[in-house]
A and B are shown apart, each in its own frame.
Chain A
Amino acid sequence: MTASFSFHAATVRYDGRAALGPIDLSIAPGEQVAIIGPSGAGKTSLLRLMNGSLRPSSGEVRLGGRDLARLHRRELRSLRSRIGFVHQSHALVPILRAGQNVIGGILGQRGLCAAARALLWPRREDLEEAHALLERVGIGEKLFQRTDTLSGGQQQRVAIARALFQRPMALLADEPVASVDPARGRALLELMISLARERELTLVTSLHDIDLACSLFPRLVGLRQGRIAFDAPRSEIPPESLRELYDLQGLRGGEVG
Chain B
Amino acid sequence: MTCRGCEEVRLVRRPRPLGPRGATVLLLLAAGLGSTLALGLTPSGLLPGEGGLRVAGRFLLAALHPALDYPDGPHPDWIPFGLKVAQALWRTVAFAVAGMSLALLIGLPLGLLASQVWWREECLGGGILCAIGRPLLVTVRILIALMRSVHELLWAVLFLAAFGLNTFAAVVAIAIPYGGTLAKVFSEMLDEAPRDTVGALRDLGAAPLSAVLFGLLPRALPDLWAYTFYRFECSLRSSAVLGFFGYPTLGYHLELAFRDAHFREVWTYVYALIALVLLLEAWSAALRRRVVA
Tell me, yes or no, whether A166 is within 8 Å of chain B by CB. Answer: yes
Please, how many angstroms separate the alpha-carbon atoms of A116 and B203 in the complex?
A: 18
**A107-166 interface with B by 8 A CB criterion:** 107-109, 111-112, 115-116, 119, 159, 162-163, 166
Assess whether A91 is in contact with B197, with CB atoms less than 8 Å apart.
yes
Contact with A along B183-218 (1 / 0, CB 8 A): 000000000000011011111111101110111001
Assess whether A89 is in contact with B201, with CB atoms less than 8 Å apart.
no
Please, how many angstroms separate the alpha-carbon atoms of A95 and B152 in the complex?
A: 35
B1 → chain A closest CB, angstroms: 9
**B204-261 interface with A by 8 A CB criterion:** 204-207, 209-211, 213-215, 218-219, 221-222
Assess whether A91 is in contact with B200, with CB atoms less than 8 Å apart.
yes
Interface centre among A77, A92, A93, A94 (most CB of B within 10 A): A93
Please, how many angstroms separate the alpha-carbon atoms of A77 and B126 in the complex?
A: 10
Tell me, yes or no, whether A7 is within 8 Å of chain B by CB. Answer: no
Assess whether A53 is in contact with B291, with CB atoms less than 8 Å apart.
no
Instruction: Give the bracket for the number of chain A residues in contact with chain B.
Output: 35 or more
Tell me, yes or no, whether B133 is within 8 Å of chain A by CB. Answer: no
Please, how many angstroms separate the alpha-carbon atoms of A95 and B288 in the complex?
A: 12
Please, how many angstroms separate the alpha-carbon atoms of A89 and B291 in the complex?
A: 21
Please, how many angstroms separate the alpha-carbon atoms of A112 and B212 in the complex?
A: 11
A248 → chain B closest CB, angstroms: 15
Assess whether B204 is in contact with A95, with CB atoms less than 8 Å apart.
no
Please, how many angstroms separate the alpha-carbon atoms of A16 and B200 in the complex?
A: 27
- The one of B125, B203, B207, B211 that contacts A85, using a Cβ cutoff of 8 Å: B203
Tell me, yes or no, whether A39 is within 8 Å of chain B by CB. Answer: no
Assess whether A112 is in contact with B209, with CB atoms less than 8 Å apart.
yes
- Residues of A within 8 Å of B213, CB to CB, are 112, 116
Which 7 A-B residue pairs are closest in the complex by CB-CB distance? Answer: A108-B205, A81-B205, A91-B200, A73-B126, A80-B205, A107-B206, A85-B203
Other than the given A91-B200, A159-B200, 14 more pairs (CB < 8 A) read A73-B126, A74-B126, A77-B207, A91-B197, A94-B219, A95-B218, A96-B218, A108-B201, A108-B204, A108-B205, A108-B206, A112-B207, A112-B209, A163-B204
Residues of B within 8 A of A (CB): 125-126, 196-197, 199-207, 209-211, 213-215, 218-219, 221-222, 291
Residues of A within 8 A of B (CB): 51, 53, 73-74, 77-85, 87, 89, 91-96, 104-105, 107-109, 111-112, 115-116, 119, 159, 162-163, 166
User: Please, could you name 7 A-B residue pairs with CB atoms under 8 Å apart, sorted by A?
Assistant: A73-B125, A81-B205, A89-B196, A91-B200, A92-B197, A104-B201, A112-B207
